[in-house]
Structure 1
């Protein structure tokens, strides 16, 4: 954990100090699993580059977004964008889940859908209404799949999250609000994330990315720092690191092969890059995540 200049806690994931849990692009847990440890209250905080969906199945929730409080008394999904100051207070009978995901998954979803996920640009609450049983089944399936390790797990998780995003996007479109500067900035960030997803192995410069977006590199860096808490180059590096970690965890690829696949000029440079960003060697990381 670290603090912002305003004194608002800046958490990686609910105040935990460790890095993103595992190599998944998604984190899913029940509301009671976390909130009962904090007496059913999560105090106001923010996440630098994490999107969250609060799915309330039943029970009562008080949501505080940027100092404004509102109550959720029916099945609903609350969207919380990165850097949004938010806190929750729950009734003891609360049931539901919190889905957390980073920019890499958002970029992958936008690539799959062929459009920016504008629904993630603004904090909003979407009552499930007549779709509550269908959405409950979807989220329950997602949670079960997340906890398991069956073949095709990653593909099914992405498909389930895509279905959830489509549902939320349709809800937003039914009550579309006029676009503002903030939404345009987030859509521009979405375009950058899709470019990173398509070209991170090519080690393009920030200037190259900015030219493709037709904006100055300074503006791209300011945008990334404001909405992701990282520079534009750090966003690319984190994507490279994530892919390296996933391959170290799930494949038998040698360090040299992995270095080549990620576009590094030589394995020594890759080894230094990995240790600088992760704090441990690639071989050490592999030993820590691969049993036996």
Structure 2
């Protein structure tokens, strides 16, 4: 395992050819309890310069991927993509199957479509896939076929091993979409609730999406996209709707002047507030007050 010296803070390790088998683009290794070579290198933060899949049949060591700790679980699938940061708390025996491949492997003509798979793109920065009994049976059978092709040379060996890998990655991508999308939707729904609570509490002083994004420690773009996906409305639309609702309440139920309402809602300029209100309701504040009170009486 040789570090690539392009990152001076966190070393990156390339995929080295194994003795007597494989190449620097694609490898399959059976973990039979042996400890990895160069163990000390795994006990410091590092990156792998390749995609790494691990089906764990048995093992219980603890490690970190980016800022999340994981303790290995039996009959569980783990995966990482290049540039995620790894750190092992300890090095212990692991029983299972390890598969590694590089960007160059994915660039081969037969493999280019794999780049689009969720488990390869990893949009949720995941690492662990939980497997049902049905999943375990499928994964173990596919890995056994892949390992057999990889270990015993025969005609079309590379094509057969790659074909099994493609089947495995497609299957795992289905699990990825199911598990991570559902989990992310829960997170997103909680984010919408937090955003709406903040708007309710501070809409009179904060009128911009960026203001709320700062409070939530998010980018304005990510906040807007999430709100749109979960509510069907943009974040700025929800802020504006809350402002207009309060303006209508004040116009109908109080005798505050438009200038006073402008100040109460955090607008500095009454003429701007007039334009804002008309753009969202098609009427000026005075026109709205007149029409709604005529309806009431």
Distance 2:62 2:119 in 1: 21
TM-score (norm 1): 0.50
Where does residue 172 of structure 2 map in the other structure?
168
- Runs (5+) with no aligned partner, structure 1: 179-292
User: CA 1:102 to 1:147, structure 2 compared with 1: closer, same or farther past 3 Å?
Assistant: same
Q: Deviations over 1:50-105 (max 9, x none)?
A: 1111221222242310142111222111111101111344543x211221101133
Q: Is the 8 A contact 1:63 1:69 kept in 2?
A: yes
The within-5 A match list for 1:1-292 is 1-5=3-7, 7-13=9-15, 23=23, 25-32=25-32, 35-38=35-38, 42-43=42-43, 44-48=45-49, 50-88=50-88, 89=90, 91-92=92-93, 94-107=94-107, 108=109, 111-112=112-113, 116-122=116-122, 123-130=126-133, 131-175=135-179, 176=181, 177=184
Structure 2 residue matching 1:7: 3-state secondary structure? coil
Distance 2:86 2:172 in 1: 20
Q: Is the 8 A contact 2:35 2:92 kept in 1?
A: no
Q: What's the Cα RMSD here?
A: 3.2
Structure number with larger C-alpha Rg: 2
1:40, distance to aligned residue in structure 2 (A): 9.8
- Runs (5+) with no aligned partner, structure 2: 186-297
Distance 1:30 1:112 in 2: 27
1:171, distance to aligned residue in structure 2 (A): 0.6
Distance 1:162 1:17 in 2: 21
Q: Number of matched residues?
A: 172
Structure 2 residue matching 1:119: 3-state secondary structure? helix
Q: Is the 8 A contact 1:41 1:90 kept in 2?
A: no
Q: Deviations over 1:2-30 (max 9, x none)?
A: 345452221113xx699xx7547411112
